[in-house]
Structure 1
């Protein structure tokens, strides 16, 4: 029998904290929770869950700061950020801080569960190809979820890894943002800005000059294309 997925919730609204915690326990998740950023940091220093649900606006230590703390300890820990800030720019900013996903308040509990399920399934599920392989300057070990660039391990979040693996498996192919949302996020629809932010973060890790990318090109009006050799067409 597969072990129950463990979820940590850091949320200062007592109603949201109770309702989400009770719902996830009823859905057979193991849940830990706390109501401020400092308590969240202490909890996460001792034990890391399978998925972290993090409110962006927290007392003591902000959600952004706590996200940065977790990213230093566990780059691939899936983080879903909750935000009462409804603008697209605010959501993009949360993703740029290192969140893998976000949900604006108010949100449906079932949608939250589906997003947690997708993150857990990707982390625990069998990889399409377990055998390590190389592509140009990059070496990929799908079983360990590690990618190296010219012998240097690239520190990637869960979403960054899945995005890059999808690109690596489709070299020199133009991929729309809708393609990427569907295959990497598992969404049939969503904001294209989610992909844009993760592409930007990935470029910062693999490109010598992120503003002039060699590997991860923008195909204006369409999407993105990964080039194996990194040479200008």
Structure 2
């Protein structure tokens, strides 16, 4: 005798416990767990120096649904703490001033579509506290794949500064250059305006991470 569909009992699908929380926002403290560390993809590493502790910047990726979140891990005594920065994003630039304990992280959405703005996370005290701000979209027409690349950031001791960027357009348009200003130590910036001073060649402040470097090795040991 056959079995009717009403008699078939289906096992429940195992519930997916998302790595990325709906409650994360820029500056949120993330509970460091083996699951978070195992899902973390490092792209920048900075050793402890002067007033800056060792830190690793990259993104957490949820392998189940493909979601990503730009994230920073910071060494604190014998432990690590972590901060979320931006959903569906990765870091484009990181600037540091180890002598004063300052660091500025620029993060941008990495899905298809123009990068309308940069999320900025900044610390002035070696990550004891962090704050979040923004670089608005440049004042020009951006098509689907167009975005402003940050090429230079200059700040003085008072926290006043300037930022230079360039847009290489996906269509046949001449690149356009922009400048923006900050009055709060690089946290918030004016909307980038066009300039004839075009900076399109810079020395990277941080190099891609070394697979065998200390902070990365230390961090990955937590995933085991």
TM-score by length of 1: 0.28
Structure scoring higher RCO (CA < 8 A, sep ≥ 6) equals: 2
Whichever structure has more strand as a proportion of its residues is: 2
Whichever structure has more helix as a proportion of its residues is: 1
